[in-house]
Amino acid sequence: MIPLINTVALSRFFGTGEAMVKALDEVSLSIEPGEFTAIVGPSGSGKSTLLHLIGGLDKPDSGTVALNGTNIADMSGNKLSDFRRDNIGFVFQAYNLIPVLSAAENIEYIMLLQGITAVKRRIRVKEMLDIVGLAGMENRRPAQLSGGQQQRVAVARAMASNPSIILADEPTANLDSKTGISLLNVMKDLNQNRNMTFVFSTHDQKIIERARRLVYLRDGKIEKEETQ
Amino acid sequence: MLILRLAWRNLFRNIRRTVLTCMLIASSLLTIILMDGVMLGMIDVMIGSLTHTLEGEAQINSRGFRDDFEPSIRINNYREIQNELVHDPVVRGASARIIVGAMIASSYNSAGALVYGVDAASEKDVSKIEEAVYAGHFLSGQEREILLGRPMAELLEVELGDRLVLTSSTVDSKEIVQELFRLSGLFEFGPETLDENLIFINLDKAQSLFELTGAAHQIAIRFNRPEMANDPTLNIYKSFNNDQTEANGWLALQPTMGAMLEMTGYSTLIVGGILFLLASLGIINSMFMSIYERIYEFGVIKSVGTRPAEIIKLILTEAFFLALISCFFGIILGYFVSSYFSTNGIPMGRMEMSGIVLDGNMNTILEPYQFINFPIYVTLLTLIAAIYPALFASKIVPTEALQKAL
Ligand SMILES: Nc1ncnc2c1ncn2[C@@H]1O[C@H](COP(=O)(O)OP(=O)(O)O)[C@@H](O)[C@H]1O
Ligand SMILES: [Mg+2]
């Protein structure tokens, strides 16, 4: 079986000379479909950089990233935009949503980009909101939702485009631990019941406990890996 | 539809900025509508003063007469032409004239003058000679009536009723003729070239004096709708441009006026251009501010797969809505302000431009194109002004944007 994601000696450097930071230093990592992986490490260890490279938001200085065997680093422009839209779901730490759109419209937005018809969009929006436990909150604007609810809408939006993988960069960092754990449970449900592959970063011990596979990063290198 | 909703709502995220930008765009539109209205009003007054004073909106002259006012070049069948003109439904009035140079003398002084033999009755529909008479009375058909301009009367030191002797020569036999007149009226058109040089006597008197019986030099014409005057398809231009006569609208008769109109057109264009340039700087600035405030958001929506072109579309749609709202208010405001000045006039002092006197209030003129074309231009310019900010937003790098805001 080919891995869903395969990075080979992935490196990303910032700055030059003395001031150069090796944000990611020859990271090789494989992720199989259906995995629930946490990238763990202190602040500045390269978690975001790794997720950005996997998601095609950034280009490596060396090494390759392949998703389903397609080399992401080879793509650019609309092709890359469309690839991200159709294959990768993103959840960021905060402010994921467009503030002037309702929860439903935020989810609908990405399907609109995909050219899905209005009727199908509406059905799927409802389905997604149900899954993340926000039924009945369709018309709320982000400002009328709690931080945890906003992150759930972000997860619902990521799911809505039916991607191969959802990348979540410290999705719980702005939440209290109870809300964070409940968001993680939503993600885990999606992983188990819908076989959605998740890669998320965190440095929160309570969240770490709930991941199945752990990849420890330190100074841009993989320090160790654990499966629990 | 979602994109439209998104763009529309984005406008109201910072209401104060949107209102200020709308005010900027709307007042630019108002200014351009008003300025054009003023220009049209001024042109109207200028053309009116030029054509309605004496010249007429069009003229039929004996062919070649206008080159150097050679009095022997005449229209012999002027009554036929005049009759035909009077029955033309577009013509309001037609007045035949004799124009001959002469010497006028009083007991004290003498001067050269251009004698106009005019028909009092038909002149009322064509020119403003009667209105210009400020003392005595207009011609009434009596033989020895003569009208002088104020400066000419002052030069000759004559008063109403005083004797004047006109000296000239008959047109064909070139014999000297002298005739006695009594000053029956004083006129003042305003432009000095007219007041200093012209003399009016009755047409039939002029015909007999200069031995031009049954002939005229010029037929001045006014139309029911002045804006038709320069329409080359008019019947009179087709019928009376032949080897006997030439027929011309005022634009052809007064090429300098055409140049002046063109100039006013250009000045509207230049002022409008500068105005729009300033307004677009304001628009660009406001769009950039709104984009800077949303950099993180653009980072997110680009991350999830929004194409650069779709971001450009979003920003341009926002600009379009901004222009739409602005034009809505600009049109309403422009309509009311311009309407006010079109009924009440803008008070202007007396001024003279290239021999044309503008006096009293100037009324703006409203035209449909001011409320259709100008808003379209404003909208297009707003869109053009938004292109640069839109390109900027489309080039936002997600990773940088995401890092900046957190
Ligand atoms: N755009 C950038 N410019 C310069 N340095 C950067 C940039 N992005 C990340 N870095 C640096 O790379 C290192 C890894 O950053 P990051 O991947 O954000 O770590 P983490 O997400 O684990 O906190 C840090 O030292 C950070 O300062
Ligand atoms: Mg990070």
Q: Residue B406 pLDDT more than 60? A: no
Strands A21-31 and A36-40: unpaired
Instruction: Indicate if B272 and B123 belong to the same structural domain.
Output: no
Last residue of a domain, one of B210, B241, B272: B241
The structure tokens listed for B347 are 């008070």
Chains A, B: CB contacts under 8 A, how many? 77
Instruction: Indicate if B200 and B282 belong to the same structural domain.
Output: no
Strands A36-40 and A197-202: parallel
Instruction: Indicate if B101 and B182 belong to the same structural domain.
Output: yes
- Segment B206-222 shows an average pLDDT of 92
| 3-class SS shares of chain A: helix, strand, coil, % to 5 | 40, 25, 35
CA atoms B289, B293, B295, B301: torsion sign: negative
Q: Using CA atoms, how far apart are residues A8 and A13, in angstroms rounded to an integer?
A: 16
Instruction: Indicate if B170 and B111 belong to the same structural domain.
Output: yes
Closest protein CA for atom 11 of ligand 1: A23
Instruction: Indicate if B105 and B34 belong to the same structural domain.
Output: no
Q: Which residues from B are below 8 Å from A when comparing CB atoms? A: 2-3, 5-6, 9-10, 12-13, 296-297, 300-310, 398-399, 402, 405-406
Task: Output the CA A94–ligand 1 centroid distance in Å.
Answer: 17
Last residue of a domain, one of B178, B213, B241: B241
* Ligand 1 binding pocket mutation candidate from A14, A50, A93 (most atoms within 8 A of CB): A14
Residues 153-182 of A with CB under 8 A from B: 157-158, 161
In a domain, B406, yes or no: no
Pocket of ligand 1 contains residue A48 by CB under 6 Å: yes
Instruction: Indicate if B191 and B334 belong to the same structural domain.
Output: no
Residue A221 burial by Cβ neighbours in a 10 Å radius (0-12, 13-18, 19+): middle
In a domain, B377, yes or no: yes
Instruction: Indicate if B99 and B223 belong to the same structural domain.
Output: yes
Chain B residues with beta carbon closer than 8 angstroms to that of A85: 304-306
Q: Using CA atoms, how far apart are residues A195 and B398, in angstroms rounded to an integer?
A: 28
Q: What is the pTM of this model?
A: 0.83
Tell me whether residues A101 and B6 touch, CB distance under 8 A.
yes
Instruction: Indicate if B283 and B225 belong to the same structural domain.
Output: no
Q: Using CA atoms, how far apart are residues B323 and B329, in angstroms rounded to an integer?
A: 10
Q: What are phi and psi of B216, to 5 degrees?
A: -145, 165
Using one digit for the tens of pLDDT, what is the confidence trace for A181-204? 999 999 999 999 999 999 999 988
Q: Tokens 């009095």 belong to which residue? A: B71
In a domain, B253, yes or no: no
In a domain, B55, yes or no: no
Chain B residues with beta carbon closer than 8 angstroms to that of A96: 300
Average pLDDT value for chain A? 93
Q: Residue B350 pLDDT more than 80? A: no
Residues 80-119 of A with CB under 8 A from B: 81-86, 88-90, 92-96, 98-101, 105, 108-110, 112-113
Using one digit for the tens of pLDDT, what is the confidence trace for A26-38? 999 999 999 999 9
Instruction: Indicate if B97 and B230 belong to the same structural domain.
Output: yes
In a domain, B59, yes or no: no
Ligand 1 atom nearest residue A52's Cα: 17
Please report, rounded to a whole number, the percentage of residues in chain A having pLDDT higher than 70.
100
Q: Which of A58, A89, A108 sits opposite B2 (nearest CB)?
A: A108
What distance separates the 2 farthest-apart alpha carbons in chain B? 104
Instruction: Indicate if B235 and B92 belong to the same structural domain.
Output: yes
Tell me whether residues B399 and A52 touch, CB distance under 8 A.
yes
Nearest to A157 by CA among A75, A118, A102, A76: A102
In a domain, B252, yes or no: no
Ligand 1 atom nearest residue A24's Cα: 14
* A55 near B CB under 8 A: yes
Pocket of ligand 1 contains residue A148 by CB under 6 Å: no
Query: Going from the N-terminus, what domains does chain A have, and what CATH number goes with each?
Result: 33-48+75-227 (3.40.50.300)
Sequence-distant (6+) residues with CB within 8 A of B394 are: B308, B309, B311, B312, B315
In a domain, B392, yes or no: yes
Tell me whether residues A84 and B3 touch, CB distance under 8 A.
no
Q: Residue B385 pLDDT more than 80? A: yes
In a domain, B81, yes or no: yes
Ligand 1 atom nearest residue B400's Cα: 1
Strands A197-202 and A213-218: unpaired
* Ligand 1 binding pocket mutation candidate from A11, A39, A43, A48 (most atoms within 8 A of CB): A48
- Segment B387-396 shows an average pLDDT of 95
Q: Residue B137 pLDDT more than 90? A: yes
The one-character DSSP state at A61 is S
Average pLDDT value for chain B? 90
3 state DSSP class of B252: helix
ipTM of the complex: 0.94
Q: What is the pLDDT of residue B354?
A: 59
Q: Tokens 């009376």 belong to which residue? A: B240
User: Who wins on pLDDT, B352 or A49?
Assistant: A49
Instruction: Indicate if B120 and B156 belong to the same structural domain.
Output: yes
* Ligand 1 binding pocket mutation candidate from A12, A21, A39, A218 (most atoms within 8 A of CB): A21
Residue in B closest to A78 by C-alpha = B307
Last residue of a domain, one of B186, B214, B241: B241
Instruction: Indicate if B106 and B221 belong to the same structural domain.
Output: yes
Pocket of ligand 1 contains residue A16 by CB under 6 Å: no
Q: What is the pLDDT of residue B352?
A: 65
Q: Residue B248 pLDDT more than 60? A: yes
Q: What are phi and psi of A88, to 5 degrees?
A: -130, 130
List the domain range (segments joined by +) for residue B350: 2-49+258-401
Tell me whether residues B6 and A98 touch, CB distance under 8 A.
yes
Provide the number of structural domains found in chain B. 2
